[in-house]
Amino acid sequence: MTMPLLLSSQPGQMFAISGQARLSDVQTTNLQFVYALRFGLDRDMAGTCRRFGLLAEQAQAIRALMPERLWASVCAVGHTSLFLARSDVVTLLQAPDAVAATLAAARPAFASIPPDQ
């Protein structure tokens, strides 16, 4: 099943998809990200887990969900991001191109907002 790539440069903009649902910018980002994860997991599970900090159980759960269930889950979560920015995201974006990858690899990718425990 091919899903459209949804992009917008307008913060808070709503998207109409096939007349079935309207997604906010946060929901659209969640949907794109979870589909990218699923695609990556199908191609290289170990590499995708390493790159995105996924546990094997999380990866298996994401892979097991059908595209329609992913869509429904993203809609149900609403306007809450499923994926948080790294605590050093600004530093990495402002770093010179020649050192950004080295900085990213050398620092652990902790979320800027700690998850609920």
Which residue spans of the chain are classified as CATH 1.10.4000.10? 1-82
With residue 16 as reference, give the H or E element that holds it: strand 15-17
- The 8-class DSSP code of residue 105 comes to H
- The 8-class DSSP code of residue 21 comes to E
Which CATH superfamily does the domain covering 1-82 fall into? Flagellar transcriptional activator FlhD (1.10.4000.10)
Is residue 85 within 8 Å of residue 33, measured between CB atoms?
A: no
37-78 tens-digit pLDDT: 999 999 999 999 988 889 999 999 999 999 889 989 999 999
Cα–Cα distance for residue pair 24/21, rounded to 1 Å: 10
pLDDT for residue 10 is more than 80: no
Identify the pLDDT of residue 9. 34
Q: How confident is residue 19, by pLDDT bands cut at 50, 70 and 90?
A: very low
Identify the pLDDT of residue 5. 42
Quote the radius of gyration of the chain (alpha carbons, Å): 16
